[in-house]
């Protein structure tokens, strides 16, 4: 696991878990990780991180596509 169930919510250094793909050490805000895990319905902290990263990458792809269309002038802004 990357983070323990400690009471404080300060970022802390992660540990290398068995089965880690790259063994990266990371500092993660436990409160944000707990919230992401709940929002995403993830069973583990690793699943929460993987799903959150997938969401960010997906959003970046959508944003890039929208910018491409907007550059051609084929996109109308409907909201402020």
More confident residue, 2 or 56: 56
Please state, for a pLDDT cut of 90, what percent of the chain lies above it: 46
Is 8 within 8 Å of 30 (Cβ atoms)? yes
Q: Which of 21, 22, 1 is nearest to 13 (CA)?
A: 1
Give tens-digit pLDDT for 14-54: 545 555 567 778 899 999 999 999 999 999 999 999 999 99
Residue 34 to residue 38: CA distance in whole angstroms: 6
What residue segments make up the domains of the chain, in order of their start?
A: 43-80
Percent of the chain predicted with pLDDT > 70: 72
């Amino acid at each position: 696991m990357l983070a323990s169930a400690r009471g404080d919510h300060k970022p802390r250094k992660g540990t290398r878990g068995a089965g880690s793909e790259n063994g990266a050490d990371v500092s993660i805000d436990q409160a944000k990780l707990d919230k992401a895990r709940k929002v995403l319905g993830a069973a583990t902290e690793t699943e929460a991180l993987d799903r959150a990263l997938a969401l960010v990458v997906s959003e970046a792809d959508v944003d890039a596509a929208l910018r491409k269309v907007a550059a051609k002038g084929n996109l109308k802004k409907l909201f402020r």
